[in-house]
Structure 1
Amino acid sequence: MHKYHHLAFINRELSWLDFNQRVLEEAEDLSNPLLERVRFLSISAGNMDEFYAVRVAGLIDQVHDGATKKSVDGLTPTQQLETVRYQAWCMQQEQQRIWHGLRAELAKENIVIESIDKLHHLDKAWLKEYFEGQVYPVLTPVDLNPTHPLPFIPSGGQALVLRLRETDSHKHKADGLVVMPPQLPRFIRLPDKQGVIRFIALEYVIAHFSKSLFPGMHSVPTGMMRIVRNLDVELEEDAEDLLNNFENAVKERRRGACIHLEVEGTIPKHVIRKLGLERDEVVLLPKMAGMGDVKQLIVSDRPELLFPPFHAAMPQRVVDHGGDCFATIKEKDLVVQHPYESYDVVVHFLQQAAQDPDVISIKQSIYRTSHDSPIVHALIAAVEAGKSVTAVVELRARFDEEANIRLARALETRGVQVVYGLAAYKTHAKMILVVRREGERLQSYAHFGTGNYHPSTAKIYTDISFFTCNPVLVEDAARLFNYTTGCAEPHLQALCCSPLTIRPKLEELVHAEMEHARAGRPAQIWLKMNSLVDPQLIELLYDASQAGVSIKAVVRGICCLRPGVKGLSDNIEVHSIVGRYLEHARVFAFGNGQALPSESAKLYISSADWMKRNMDRRIEAMVPITDPAAHAHILNQIMVVNLRDTLRSWKMTPEGKWERMAPGSEPLCAHDYFMAHPSPAYGAASAPVAPGSRAGAAVQES
């Protein structure tokens, strides 16, 4: 039972849809370059795919199982499913409307999607050669006779449906289907003409040349369909061979039940029946199925229609030490904010460890990483140099499972000791521990991150890297690694971890602020995270608000807390920043009897959002920041600027709605600010960016 009425909470699924709506609205924001607006539209469509494949799929499973347990906001699975489907349908119709407008704007900028019947005969000849050489060999036309089985179409797969008629009598004979090969681009770029960049959709090319696929028949395209399947993976946690068991589960997922069908035009009813779909699982789209594919129109040869390029530099302190990461960290703790400072510093830290003859061991947790990652190469190089290397690889990183299976096998083949962590808990903590012989003693160096070890996404995700050789923290890191590999509960001195100590520590910190408020001292909490969902922690924040604690939160995505409600959450504000970069860092600050920002504040960075899964079902790390310069960098700069952002920020109302913030007299965009000021002066603790400091003007003038 929850302490507060269900009206005090916002539905998780609807809150996520609200977040995706904020992403979608970036596609209409004229302050964004045109091709970036196309990218935001594509991102919103890709987000919807994952939402259907995981969240909606979960609700469908609950309904089929007859589940009636209500969510924290008081809805049964059936009620949630009905509400979510309607809201998702509205969003997809909005995407169609926005695409219609963007296509017209692209045409004004000489980026055109051509109609095949308006092409010059020379273009048609070029297309014929392209079709015969690049497309025809990989197509498999299928007769859609009601008695024939439907060919398998993977999740995200698209197919063109055609009506087939006899050439002489034009009598309808059958329906045909051509599955669109995922290896081919959806938009084919034609040769430029008089400075105009021209594309044509693959389905129109296939339709135009369909006579060669169905010889002797007259074919007329009637519709495009696109399938989304249930992609949730069930894993037997007590399986004897976790890797093989999970590999089989991922293979099974490819054949997950179809749960959502997008239709552009019309398709035969017997096709829908064969897919096992209900009427409310089919969405009719007026313009285009598969909106995520519009990202293929983002061309590099029109840079004026893209965000100006930003090239992050290596942190100055590392440069000043000649690139020696160990010397830099030994001097004092190092905070790096990505992508404003280069992620290469993390790669370089590992590469230096691999090459250094004094390094004897490396341990690293890997949740997600890039294809052909330099981090993986560094671990392999370390093994080849005779060092002890352990990688804790999490197989259950959703949609990266297959990549992590390949990674685990590749690392094992090269001699890395690979551990899959605890079967009951995902290993989500981001940690590296390097042990180095220095004279007669061993010195450890640790990296803690809020984001994944993924050099590609590190260019667009805002995250924090924290490097330290603090004896207490590196010893705790060693114990936490031993917990993930050996199961024995660690006795940590300063570090907190889920599922053991993060929740109770957060409760202790919030209660301490409540005591400060009751004693008449300043009582403040600043939070930054991706998702705020956990009912217990939300109720605790409500208690704190009623006790007089001022709470400000920057929550990028899902927020189930309802701020600013009289008598419940009067003292809570919730903002969300959506823009050029994806906000991903988790930072928690507690005033400790002083007004924030303060040198005495208790400050933590973490890999964990405030969700039940992160608190109770994952291995997570929450790291205290005590070094004065590191503390000031995160609190006085990163958090203050995030809270002062007005140009990319939204504010949640007591009704649970999101409204764009007014620019105000001192307009500030956090992303622009940090691109211009990637880090404060590192020689001393930095002063806060206070309201009225002209920080916004500094960004605009730089």
Structure 2
Amino acid sequence: MDREVGWLRFNQRVLELAEDTAIPLLERAMFLSIFSSNLDEFFMVRVAGLKRRLATGVAVSSRGRRLRKQMENISEITHDLMLRHADCFQKSVAPALADAGIRIVRWADLTESEAQRMHRFFRRAIYPVLTPFAVDPAHPFPYISGRSLNLAVTVRDPHTGRRVFTRIKVPSVLPRFIELDGERFVPVEDVISAHLPQLFEGMEIQEHHAFRVTRNSDLEVDEDETDDLVQSLENELLRRRFGPLVRLEVEETISDAILEILCEELGAEEEEIYRVPGPLDLAGLAQLSGLDRPELKYPPMVAVEPRALAQGDFFETVRERELLVQHPYESFATTTERFLALAAVDPKVVAIKQTLYRTSGDSPIVDALIEAAEAGKEVVALVEIKARFDERNNIRWARKLEEAGCHVVYGMVGLKTHCKLSLVVRREEDGTLRRYCHVGTGNYNPKTARIYEDFGLFSADPEVGEDLSDLFNHLTGFSRKKHYRRLLVAPHALREALMRQIQHEINNHAQGLPARIRIKTNSLVDEDIIDALYTASRAGVPVDLWVRGSCVLRPGVEGLSETIRVRSILGRFLEHSRVFVFENGGEPQVWIGSADLMPRNLDRRVEALVRVTDPGQRIRLAGLMELAMADSTSSWRLDSDGSWTRATHDGEGIPLLDLQSTLRGDRHLRVVDA
């Protein structure tokens, strides 16, 4: 199936959460916001990439014709989804918010006192930062930056009859919705529109309409040619906002005349134009999450501390037994953050090595690394400055780390370093050096760790320590190391190792031994892996796939994939971990790590999976897979025709089990290591 359509169907599942009236109201508004933000990034990267490929001259080939057909298909699906998204807001979420006393009102609905308050707010906080740009022979059409909200205004001089088109950018420093009285809000463009006579004094305002542009925001840096990757990336970041247009959003009330001007000046083609009911840019609904209305949100959840850590010294605990933690059910602060904070101040720790792909703006992880360096410890930080949309943030952190005396490495030429690794070297009481390791499935980001589901394994196993030392030396030095003890590492060995594991299950099934494949991943689009899974299915091996996002494999096709089941679970937390369980004749091989099943992860990134060896932890992970795939668990199920069907109730109307709620409430699942 088509990868881009698969991703759009994932975002459709996000939209279905917004449409679900059983979900708390402010969470539904947040899912509308997430849908908008997701779609922005999809256009900025995926659609932009397709357009760039078309522009390379393949348009007349069969490949080019396929690309054009793919673009038309994307446009058709996206138009439908955007209208459905607007409809969900207008007819379901907004009325429900109003019933709860939270109103997003248009200017015409303001009371006289509210209008007066907005007049004063406009003069004080909006007017000083507005700049109208007229278009005439002396003033060319202004540049419209990506993801900015704008007003297209036509004004007329009553003395000369001359008409002028004008553009006003809504400043990004302003909130998307202006607060009126705590739980009443008005779109910022309505406030600006109501005061257009003050911006065009003495002129007649003939019409005004909101519009929004999405642009290609992918960065292109030739790492083989540049002498300074950081400087080259910074230059590209300056150009990012000037990328080619990939989408033009307009209010459905826009006049043909104004739309024609926008299309001509912006170079928008018909399939790139999206007419939707206002207000545009509903990503701004995230603003409502700050309201103090706990009854309209998910119930609060306090992450637990693993019992094993509450009973003794962190390093002693990990030295005695490996610890598997699952966030956000188990606390990121008392596990991963604590691990690095303790390492920073422990006088026995002599070195820390760390990968950073995405981290938060006020990162305690980075603070710990800086503290360790200032204390004289050897600190190596591999900061991936090519992490999409976090480039600027990561460059800033990298420079801060360098200033503190850390050794900073900026990834590897031609590859993104996506693996999640920490290595702490500690001198023990007997004088020997011992390595304490963390291998994770998610970023070292305290903010996303509260809403992203991820696993982390803490280990003092010498084999894992040797592996991490070897891998860090590979990342900071120059080598072609492929084989490790408990790690599988991309791009040199992970793909072939997974293919071997799949073939091993096929061989075991042929010999009458227990055989089964269970995989949890964010995306499944790699053709070689999919073909191998089809081969396993044709051989009779049961295959269970838990895929959050895009999946191009077709399950349940006769003679091809009859033994394959695909599930997707979306909810309060973003399912982000990657888990691989191979039955291995009754002695399951279980892996967790950073790699999705995509060509970029297997071939163009440094990824790492670690083999889980503790029997209890393997049972825990296999049990999680079993729970997710059970017919009694609420999920979306992928059909052979590519459609996803949501199952929330059984045949008698009884609600199915909610996996995330079950994990929140089941302490046994989270402290099996204790």
- Pairs within 5 Å for 1:6-45: 10-45=1-36
Give the Å deviation of 1:396: 1.1
Stretch of structure 1 that moved more, 250-259 or 22-31? 250-259
- Cα distance change, pair 363–75 in 1 and its aligned pair in 2 (3 A): farther
Give the Å deviation of 1:409: 1.2
Query: For 2:578, which of 580, 586, 591 is the aligned residue?
Result: 586
Query: For 2:243, which of 256, 270, 279 is the aligned residue?
Result: 256
Kindly indicate whether residue 387 of structure 2 is the aligned counterpart of residue 400 of structure 1.
no
CA distance in 2, matches of 1:684, 1:293: 42
Q: Say whether the 8 Å CA contact 1:645–1:670 is kept in structure 2.
A: no
Q: Say whether the 8 Å CA contact 2:617–2:672 is kept in structure 1.
A: no
Show CA shifts across 1:587-640 (max 9, x none). 00011113xxxxx2000001000111111110000110002232222223x323
Report SS of the residue matched to 2:657: coil
CA distance in 2, matches of 1:256, 1:75: 24
Report the residue type matching 1:484 in the other structure. Answer: L
Partner of 2:40: 49
Give the Å deviation of 1:281: 1.5
Q: Say whether the 8 Å CA contact 2:156–2:162 is kept in structure 1.
A: yes
Query: For 1:87, which of 56, 74, 77 is the aligned residue?
Result: 77
Report SS of the residue matched to 1:365: strand
Partner of 2:217: 231
State the Cα RMSD in Å: 1.8
Report the residue type matching 2:129 in the other structure. Answer: V
Query: For 2:523, which of 510, 531, 541 is the aligned residue?
Result: 531
Stretch of structure 1 that moved more, 607-616 or 271-280? 271-280
Give the Å deviation of 1:83: 0.9
Report SS of the residue matched to 2:458: strand
- Cα distance change, pair 296–168 in 1 and its aligned pair in 2 (3 A): farther
Show CA shifts across 1:318-374 (max 9, x none). 1111xx321121120001000001111101100000000000000000000000100
Report SS of the residue matched to 2:146: coil
Report the residue type matching 2:332 in the other structure. Answer: Y
- Pairs within 5 Å for 1:427-466: 427-438=417-428, 439-466=430-457
Partner of 2:495: 503
Partner of 1:208: 194
Q: Structure 1 unaligned runs (5+)?
A: 1-9, 595-599, 686-702
Q: Say whether the 8 Å CA contact 2:663–2:669 is kept in structure 1.
A: no
- Pairs within 5 Å for 1:287-686: 287-321=278-312, 324-344=313-333, 345-438=335-428, 439-490=430-481, 491-594=483-586, 600-636=587-623, 638-644=624-630, 646=632, 648-664=634-650, 667-680=656-669, 682=671
Give the Å deviation of 1:397: 0.8
Give the Å deviation of 1:108: 1.2
Q: Say whether the 8 Å CA contact 1:644–1:668 is kept in structure 2.
A: no
Give the Å deviation of 1:420: 1.2
CA distance in 1, matches of 2:637, 2:365: 38
Q: Say whether the 8 Å CA contact 2:355–2:382 is kept in structure 1.
A: yes
Report SS of the residue matched to 1:587: strand
Report SS of the residue matched to 1:57: helix
Stretch of structure 1 that moved more, 308-317 or 676-685? 676-685
- Cα distance change, pair 231–678 in 1 and its aligned pair in 2 (3 A): farther
**TM, length-normalised to structure 1:** 0.91
CA distance in 1, matches of 2:403, 2:21: 51
Partner of 1:240: 227
Q: Say whether the 8 Å CA contact 2:24–2:297 is kept in structure 1.
A: yes
Q: Say whether the 8 Å CA contact 1:645–1:668 is kept in structure 2.
A: no
Q: Say whether the 8 Å CA contact 2:627–2:633 is kept in structure 1.
A: no
- Cα distance change, pair 682–232 in 1 and its aligned pair in 2 (3 A): closer
Q: Say whether the 8 Å CA contact 1:164–1:173 is kept in structure 2.
A: yes
Show CA shifts across 1:383-411 (max 9, x none). 01110000001111111111111111111
Give the Å deviation of 1:287: 2.7
- Cα distance change, pair 684–582 in 1 and its aligned pair in 2 (3 A): closer
Q: Say whether the 8 Å CA contact 1:335–1:633 is kept in structure 2.
A: no
**TM, length-normalised to structure 2:** 0.95
Report the residue type matching 1:454 in the other structure. Answer: N
Report SS of the residue matched to 1:659: strand
Report SS of the residue matched to 1:76: helix
Give the Å deviation of 1:254: 1.8
- Pairs within 5 Å for 1:70-85: 76-85=66-75
Q: Say whether the 8 Å CA contact 1:476–1:495 is kept in structure 2.
A: yes
Partner of 2:97: 106
Report SS of the residue matched to 1:528: strand
Report the residue type matching 1:381 in the other structure. Answer: E
Report SS of the residue matched to 1:593: helix
Show CA shifts across 1:552-595 (max 9, x none). 0100001011001000000000000011111000000011113x
Stretch of structure 1 that moved more, 552-561 or 136-145? 136-145
Give the Å deviation of 1:221: 4.1
Report SS of the residue matched to 1:185: coil
Show CA shifts across 1:64-108 (max 9, x none). 11226778xx97211111111111111111111111121111111
CA distance in 2, matches of 1:262, 1:677: 45
CA distance in 1, matches of 2:138, 2:632: 60
CA distance in 2, matches of 1:200, 1:93: 22
Give the Å deviation of 1:681: 7.4
Give the Å deviation of 1:647: 5.2
Kindly indicate whether residue 125 of structure 2 is the aligned counterpart of residue 139 of structure 1.
no
CA distance in 1, matches of 2:2, 2:209: 35
Q: Say whether the 8 Å CA contact 1:646–1:662 is kept in structure 2.
A: no
Q: Say whether the 8 Å CA contact 1:333–1:630 is kept in structure 2.
A: no
- Cα distance change, pair 333–606 in 1 and its aligned pair in 2 (3 A): same
Matched-pair identity in %: 42
CA distance in 2, matches of 1:34, 1:367: 33
Q: Say whether the 8 Å CA contact 1:160–1:221 is kept in structure 2.
A: no
